[in-house]
Structure 1
Amino acid sequence: MRELACDVAIIGAGTAGIAAHAAAAKAGARAVLIERGPGGTTCARVGCMPSKLLIEAGRAVHDARGTGPLGVTTGEVRVDGAAVMRRVRRLRDDFVASVFEGLDRIPQDLRVAGTARFADSTTLLVDDHTRISAGAMVIATGSTPSLPPPLRPVADRVLTTDTVFEIETLPESLAVLGAGPVGLELAQAMARLGVQVTLLDPAGAVGGARDPKIAACAADLIGAEFDLRLGATVETAEAADDGVRLTWRLASGDQDSGTFDRVLAAAGRPPNLSDLDLGAAGIALDEDGLPDFNPRTLQCGTAPIFIAGDANQEHPVLHEAQRQGWIAGGNAARFPQVEAPPPWPAFALVFTDPQIAAIGRAFDAEAARDWIIGETAFADQGRARAMDRAAGLIRVYAEPEGRLTGAAMVGPGIEHLAHLMAIAVQEGWNAATFLDRPFYHPTLEEGLQSAVKAVAERTGGTR
């Protein structure tokens, strides 16, 4: 067995692992990166990027068919499902290739291929070929789609968020299980491309929205494009010709069913931890098998082990995975001296149309009794009306003295408005400070300005 010694060993070469390796190397550590494949990061291979490629195809169809209110008449719009999926894979493969190009710059003697497991807190075994001794470790093993128990009898007919982009063409009908951000995005994209979509979720909200007004608005606007069944729990699945027949229970207690060409499981991605033998590392685990770790230092207990990215389930989004990887890699290199940077404001985006965002403090009905909430609707927003996109809602949260603490939004251009709000929350601005910034006219950003003005009017902060 090959013996390898290093300062830091990083398990996983996804977004967090790559960032951790860069941080450790920058701190002067000899860092080894372990990857069992297929590599290329969740974002580039099966997440952010291929989903956006499918979303953009759906948007193009929707926009082409929606020009009538603008006085523009177009001809027949046809969708070539095979061509759509070929483009998704072609550009997806380009994004993955760029990740591999970056990895290729790491010296080969600092890269190990295989599945790692702990022998103790400072020793890893990689398959049966390499033993790695390290001063500290970073766990960045990512996540894998879960398969809900009712779907297991027909697992060979079920798509996951890891396999949906490999289909040769679009199905005639699709059931999506899970109305979280990914399920909602893919359901709408598929529906716009001509697929008959049914979206099922036992929860009562879409896209993870917690503010009830935003959740209701999002469900009304996005759910109008396909068959949205909130409060529906799938109970059974069985093969039916070349498809799958599902039976589900509604919140009312009634039962319903349907037969679909394909089923997509989009009900979460648990972390890849089961193969690590964390018990051998002496790490305390909770009832779900997740390590007890400090969310700021990312250290697991007092061990020289850090956990970053989707593996810790703290914030399973790319920008947080990159930052966590950087923190974990730097702390592993400096161990036992570790740093605890302040957290970024919570920031979640759903790339549906209209888009959904939540920034900063999450809505809580009881706590909100003491908040100042500024609200504005896109129905009367000038630029949105000019774009024929006048639908949606912004809710801005503030402390009684006017300090901005968060927001929830659904509407056009939300990905840009949300970034402005994230900066305001991180910088600790109050409503008056926010309003003392230039807002060009006519822009969608004026919608956010109006919501903050509503806060200012209630806190004496208007100019």
Structure 2
Amino acid sequence: MTPLQVEVAIIGAGTAGMGAYRAARAHVDSVLLIEGGAYGTTCARVGCMPSKLLIAAAEAAHQARQAQAFGVQVQAVTVDGAAVMARVQRERDRFVSFVLETIDAIAPGDRLAARVKFQNANTLMTEHGQLIHARRVVIATGSMPVLPPVLKELGAHLLTNENVFDLPTLPTSLAVFGPGVLGLELAQAMSRLGVRVKVFGVGGGIASIQDPVIREDANQAFNHEFYLDASAHVKSVKETATGVDVNFLHRDGAWKTEPFDYVLAATGRAPAVAGLGLENTGLPLNDHGVPGFDRFTLQCGDSTVFIAGDASDDSPLLHEAADQGRIAGENAARFPDVRPGLRRTPLAVVFTDPQIASVGFNLKQLNAQFKDRFAVGLVSFEDQGRSRVMLRNQGILKVYGEQGSGLFLGAEMFGPAAEHIGHLLAWAAQQRMTVSNMLDMPFYHPVIEEGLRTALRDLNHKLHIGPQLIERCMDCGPGA
């Protein structure tokens, strides 16, 4: 086979890879986008979008069941599992088709369907033996599910995010391993759609919530809907003819064996770098096989190799993958003119109900970098006016600020409208606003965001800048 000569080779055509391609193509003409699997981003095919479609169906069922609390009578709610999954798959395929259209618009000479591995830092070889000589390479191979040892022997009754959305109908029962973002989102959605769900975790973590008070509030709220043990003891998971049997220590103290149709492994994802031959690049690799890199330039050491997206194991979120792809693509094309790119304020959202959001510095980072130099403001949504009106009055918001400067540092939230409040707070953090600046912004009445104002006022007082909170301050309106 005739070897290929290119300026920039990009391995992986997901969100980061396509972003890298567009950015590199703006600077050089010779760019090759290489994909060894199916086209279509993780988000569109097996992540963000199909999970939100399932959550939307669950919200509709939940709201119908809760209507009586408002004086609205709804007759028995039934869920057509096949219809639910048919819509998930139909709309998922529609989102994927948009990605495929983008791929089809790339010149055929700029893309290659093949699996490749490094022979050295500037030479790739396909599984068919074709060599690709690239002056610079961007690794954007994404991530893959990680299975704990207790689940590795399972076969047809094991689900991950890679296949759960292809089920022809909803199962009747589901054991979820991993109360992280995906595990909790899908567990709650399945439960609200009538599936018997139990969630098993290790170490006590719940969706990366750092604050122990917020984590316990979330734990209690979720346990009102489905069984969740974030520090579970599971002795065995055995496949049967009809499903799986899980032997576990129940929270009531008794060992139990319970049958389930399926197990959903939501125990995390790891960079999909195995088989790339990164050991041949001469780059130092960490325990996950990922080369060290500068998170502002995405350059691996001082080499001509760059890394972006989930493969970097940095911030496995779509907007971060898009940013990283752009930065890596531009720097690969401009090399050796490597420049730091914009890394935005950290923002993460979990689409459970109540939602979970984190912004800026988390509690662990604050204790490490701002020890004894930050204060915490708090609000409970239990009595927050608009939240009570909508019967969404659950959760806690904590906001963090720096002593002395009054600078807003970050926040963690379990509560209503967290996806929207999280964005407001991320914008404020990126603009380096002080808590006083934020309180000068307009707050309408009655809105859930008034709860944010209460937390900020509490924080400003603890920063010794603002007055003490007035209980049930009526200049804000009742229930603010």
CA gap of 1:283–1:152, structure 2 versus 1, over 3 A, is: same
Letter of the 2:391 counterpart: D
Return the alpha-carbon distance in structure 2 between the equivalents of residues 342 and 392 of structure 1.
33
Which position in structure 1 is the counterpart of 2:419? 415
1:130: Cα distance to partner? Answer: 2.9
Alignment pair present for 1:291 and 2:291: yes
Which position in structure 2 is the counterpart of 1:406? 410
Say if 1:8 and 1:29, in contact at 8 Å, map to a contact too.
Answer: no
Alignment pair present for 1:455 and 2:449: no
Alignment pair present for 1:446 and 2:450: yes
Letter of the 2:462 counterpart: R
Which deviates more, 140-149 or 178-187? 140-149
Say if 1:117 and 1:275, in contact at 8 Å, map to a contact too.
Answer: yes
2:72 counterpart SS class: coil
Letter of the 1:28 counterpart: V
CA gap of 1:285–1:380, structure 2 versus 1, over 3 A, is: same
Return the alpha-carbon distance in structure 2 between the equivalents of residues 287 and 320 of structure 1.
22
Which position in structure 2 is the counterpart of 1:267? 267
Return the alpha-carbon distance in structure 2 between the equivalents of residues 54 and 120 of structure 1.
44
Which position in structure 1 is the counterpart of 2:374? 371
Computed over aligned residues only, the root mean square deviation of the Cα atoms, in angstroms, reads: 1.7
1:218: Cα distance to partner? Answer: 1.2
CA gap of 1:196–1:136, structure 2 versus 1, over 3 A, is: same
Return the alpha-carbon distance in structure 2 between the equivalents of residues 29 and 232 of structure 1.
54
Letter of the 1:296 counterpart: F
CA gap of 1:250–1:300, structure 2 versus 1, over 3 A, is: farther
Which position in structure 1 is the counterpart of 2:472? none
| 1:61-118 deviation line (CA, Å, top 9, x unaligned) | 0001101121111111110000000000000000000001011111001100010111
1:253: Cα distance to partner? Answer: 9.0
TM-score after normalising by structure 2? 0.93
1:448: Cα distance to partner? Answer: 0.9
Alignment pair present for 1:84 and 2:84: yes
1:147: Cα distance to partner? Answer: 1.8
1:250: Cα distance to partner? Answer: 7.2
Alignment pair present for 1:173 and 2:177: no
| 1:273-317 deviation line (CA, Å, top 9, x unaligned) | 111101111111123322111121111112100111000110001
Letter of the 2:460 counterpart: A
Return the alpha-carbon distance in structure 2 between the equivalents of residues 120 and 81 of structure 1.
50
Return the alpha-carbon distance in structure 1 between the equivalents of residues 412 and 286 of structure 2.
31
1:249: Cα distance to partner? Answer: 5.2
Say if 2:297 and 2:327, in contact at 8 Å, map to a contact too.
Answer: yes
Return the alpha-carbon distance in structure 1 between the equivalents of residues 82 and 454 of structure 2.
44
Say if 2:323 and 2:343, in contact at 8 Å, map to a contact too.
Answer: no
Letter of the 2:363 counterpart: F
Return the alpha-carbon distance in structure 2 between the equivalents of residues 324 and 287 of structure 1.
22
1:210-359 to structure 2, matched below 5 A, reads 210-248=210-248, 255-359=255-359
Return the alpha-carbon distance in structure 2 between the equivalents of residues 254 and 283 of structure 1.
51
1:29: Cα distance to partner? Answer: 4.2
1:438: Cα distance to partner? Answer: 1.1
Say if 2:229 and 2:251, in contact at 8 Å, map to a contact too.
Answer: no
Question: What percentage of aligned pairs have identical amino acids?
Answer: 46
Say if 1:222 and 1:354, in contact at 8 Å, map to a contact too.
Answer: no
Return the alpha-carbon distance in structure 2 between the equivalents of residues 22 and 126 of structure 1.
23
1:247: Cα distance to partner? Answer: 2.3
Which position in structure 2 is the counterpart of 1:70? 70
Letter of the 1:229 counterpart: D
| 1:211-270 deviation line (CA, Å, top 9, x unaligned) | 111111111112211011121143322123311012235799974432211110000111
Which position in structure 1 is the counterpart of 2:153? 153
Which deviates more, 121-130 or 299-308? 121-130
1:380 counterpart SS class: coil
**Structure 1 gap ranges (5+):** none
Return the alpha-carbon distance in structure 2 between the equivalents of residues 133 and 255 of structure 1.
59
Which deviates more, 294-303 or 403-412? 294-303
CA gap of 1:330–1:250, structure 2 versus 1, over 3 A, is: farther
Letter of the 1:458 counterpart: K
Letter of the 1:150 counterpart: V
1:404: Cα distance to partner? Answer: 0.7
Say if 1:308 and 1:324, in contact at 8 Å, map to a contact too.
Answer: yes
Paired residues in the alignment total: 463
| 1:407-431 deviation line (CA, Å, top 9, x unaligned) | 0001111100000000111111111
Return the alpha-carbon distance in structure 2 between the equivalents of residues 243 and 369 of structure 1.
52
Return the alpha-carbon distance in structure 1 between the equivalents of residues 294 and 238 of structure 2.
43
Which deviates more, 244-253 or 291-300? 244-253
Q: 2:441 aligns with which of 437, 444, 459?
A: 437
Return the alpha-carbon distance in structure 2 between the equivalents of residues 205 and 125 of structure 1.
41
